């Protein structure tokens, strides 16, 4: 399947517009798959309350790849990679977390690596 680049215009988290290149794969059924990467820092009561495990379960349900890992400062870092709609839904879910968690903030930024470097599956560390 040959690949080419497609320029798109999208809104960033502040509501401003931007352009970027997305990978387009054309096969037998000619489809477009928009892959994005978001890095999220989740703060609040999110360690020791099964937040990462619940996040991994939700990510797998949505087909999102990446990881969730504890940081020394008490936050959880989440990398979410996948189709735009699924990643957006997963990032919204991060505010919910596990039943024992209490999320105070979710900081979301575009992850700097290209979409071709998507981790296999979703894991916790």
Q: 79 and 67 in contact (C-beta within 8 Å)?
A: yes
Question: Sign of torsion, CA 77 45 90 20?
Answer: negative
Q: C-alpha angle with apex 116: 113 to 118, nearest 5 degrees?
A: 75
Q: Answer yes or no: 70 catalytic.
A: yes
Local structure of 9: helix, strand or coil? strand
Annotated catalytic residue, options 37, 52, 58, 75: 52
Q: Answer yes or no: 52 catalytic.
A: yes
Long-range contacts of 84-88 (CB under 8 A, 24+ apart): 84/34, 84/35, 84/36, 86/62, 87/36, 87/37, 87/38
Annotated catalytic residue, options 70, 75, 92, 117: 70
Which residues are catalytic, by number?
52, 70
């Amino acid at each position: 399947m040959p690949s080419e680049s497609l320029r798109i215009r999208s809104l960033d988290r502040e509501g401003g517009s931007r352009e970027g290149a997305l990978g387009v794969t054309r096969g037998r059924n000619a489809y477009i798959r928009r892959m994005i990467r978001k890095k999220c820092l989740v703060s609040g009561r999110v360690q020791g309350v099964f937040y990462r495990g619940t996040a991994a379960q939700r990510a797998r349900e949505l087909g999102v790849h990446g990881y969730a890992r504890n940081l020394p400062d008490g936050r959880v870092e989440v990398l979410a990679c996948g189709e735009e709609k699924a990643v957006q839904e997963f990032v919204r879910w991060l505010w919910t977390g596990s039943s024992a968690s209490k999320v105070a903030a979710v900081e979301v930024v575009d992850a700097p690596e290209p979409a071709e470097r998507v981790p296999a599956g979703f894991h916790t560390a």
